[in-house]
Structure 1
Amino acid sequence: MIRLLPALALAAIATAATAQVGPPTSQRPCSANRQLVLKEGAVVLDTGPNTYARFVKGAGECLVDQFPEPAWVPSSNNPQCFIGYRCRDSSDEF
């Protein structure tokens, strides 16, 4: 059991490191934000103080019962930067 604790601690640190989000979208140019979404396919970004959202490049990144909805975020050079899409549930009300 004692040998297992260091392994669990390392796993927790590794998981926390991969879950880190980069600088807010408002601190990067619009094109850099968009390129990140296109490159990764799906990414969680910091959109403001304590606000995070998942953005995707297209419908292929959404679940079967979801659809892509255009998304805009603030960037350093554009307050309404088209970044890609957010997946919405088909049961969501507008």
Structure 2
Amino acid sequence: MKLVALTIALAAVAAPAQAISRYNSLDMSCAQVQSAVAREGAVILRYPSKRKPSLTLYDRYVEHGGFCAVGEYAANDWIPTADKAQCFVRACKPVNYDDDVLFN
């Protein structure tokens, strides 16, 4: 019985370590990027920097805030794709508790 309980506990701890898909956003249309994010919930997208094209930028993009860690929210972001210079996606960003939204 102890072995079963230990196995279940280890499986529960290992569950959050799921693989995440990685894509090059310039190889996909905006609709394909948004579809991949919606289908998988969270993906890593890579694309070249506008200021220094030899530098590859990447981030984790999510369907909604439920895929963000505690203390983060899903912020609007735009990335380049094969068909658009700016494709709408969401990325997890830290919550700024000092920001008073009512007075901005």
Calculate the TM-score normalised by the size of structure 2.
Answer: 0.62
User: Take 1:28 and 1:93, find their aligned partners in 2: how far apart are those partners?
Assistant: 38
Alignment partner, residue 53 of structure 1: 59
| Structure 2 unmatched ranges of 5 or more | 1-18, 49-54, 100-104
Q: Which residue of 1 aligns with 2:95?
A: 90
What residue ranges of structure 1 are gaps of 5+ in the alignment? 1-17
Spell out structure 1 runs of 4+ moving beyond 4 A.
none
Larger Rg: 2
RMSD: 2.4
Deviation string, structure 1 residues 14-49 (Cα, Å, up to 9, x no partner): xxxx67733x21221100010000111011111224
Q: How does 1:28-67 map to 2 (within 5 A)?
A: 28-48=28-48, 49-67=55-73
The 1:27/1:87 distance shift into structure 2, 3 A limit, reads: same
Counterpart of 2:22 in 1: which secondary structure?
coil
- Indicate the residue corresponding to 1:3 in structure 2: none
Letter in 2 for 1:34: Q
Equivalent residues of 1:54, 1:86 under 8 A apart: yes
Q: Is the 8 A contact 1:45 1:55 kept in 2?
A: yes
